Amino acid sequence: MEVLNTKLSVKNLNKSYAGKTVLNNISFDLMEGEFLSILGPSGCGKTTLLRILIGLEKADSGEIIKGGKDISSLASFDRGMGIVFQNYALFPNMTVLQNVMYALTLRKDTKKQAKEIAERTLEQVGLTDQMHKRPHQLSGGQQQRVAIARTLAMNPDVILLDEPISALDVTNREIMKAELKSLQKKFNATMLFITHDQEEAFFLSDRIMVMSEGNIEQMATPLELYQNPANDYIKEFVVEQLDKKYQDLSRYTGRGKYEDK
């Protein structure tokens, strides 16, 4: 059995706003090469957790350990993590190639090779023929792929994805789900994915962490969640919602895909 190394360890994170607890003693490990989804409704604390991990907000207490080092106080660019936002955050006045190159040119170790790295990454995500276009000339799905390529080009230890496909139409959402899983395997990337959509989490994830009101309700493989819900919340928010969409989940493998028996 393959033994996975811990890529990121979150220990006892707490966060409150105006006396209201947003994160309540959150602890979990993210394993190397894992696709972990944080699933929960709006207001459950998942986006706050993501912002604390990347360094856009500071926790009231707790630790974020990566590579045996507490990175909780480091600036975002020193944490070795990349983030893909829901709104893509592409520069409208730059071409696709320039968008992917931009952050690379700001780093001493990648400045000279920025164009080469960007071109290679765009080829790997299937956007070579789009590299000289500007964002407004692309579809929503293509723009999202550019945003992902920009993050992959930086070769981060961990990639954080903040509901990256929720703004797409149904067709592009289905395409991007398959592409995300394919890219994760191709790059052997460690990904932490924020979503409110149960089906997205089940399709993509190796494990799912379900949150409610700042708490972790259950963390398990998709199949374990479905077959052995820890409490009524998991039954109602996960199992019953999936049952409304699918009459039979018996073909689900728990490894990010459906397979015919």
Q: Could you read off the pLDDT of 43-84 as tens digits, one per residue?
A: 999 999 999 999 999 999 999 999 899 999 999 989 999 999
227 within domain boundaries: no
Total count of domains within the chain: 1
86 within domain boundaries: yes
CATH of the domain at 32: 3.40.50.300
Q: Are 162 and 85 in contact (CB under 8 A)?
A: yes
10 within domain boundaries: yes
- Mean pLDDT over all residues of the chain? 90
53 within domain boundaries: yes
pLDDT digits (tens, 9 = 90+) for 157-196: 999 999 988 878 888 888 888 888 888 888 889 999 999 9
62 within domain boundaries: yes
- Residues 253 and 256: their CA atoms lie apart, in Å, by 7
- pLDDT at residue number 258: 38
- Kindly state the tokens that stand for 91: 């520069």
pLDDT band at 2 (very low <50, low <70, confident <90, very high): low
Rounded to the nearest 5°, which phi and psi values hold at 192? -120, 115
- pLDDT at residue number 140: 86
What residues contact 87, with CB distance under 8 A and at least 6 apart? 167
In terms of DSSP bridges, do strands 215-220 and 61-66 run parallel, antiparallel, or are they unpaired?
A: unpaired
pLDDT band at 253 (very low <50, low <70, confident <90, very high): very low
260 within domain boundaries: no
174 within domain boundaries: yes
Q: Are 37 and 51 in contact (CB under 8 A)?
A: no
Provide the domain limits for residue 102.
6-221
Instruction: Quote the pTM value.
Output: 0.88
245 within domain boundaries: no
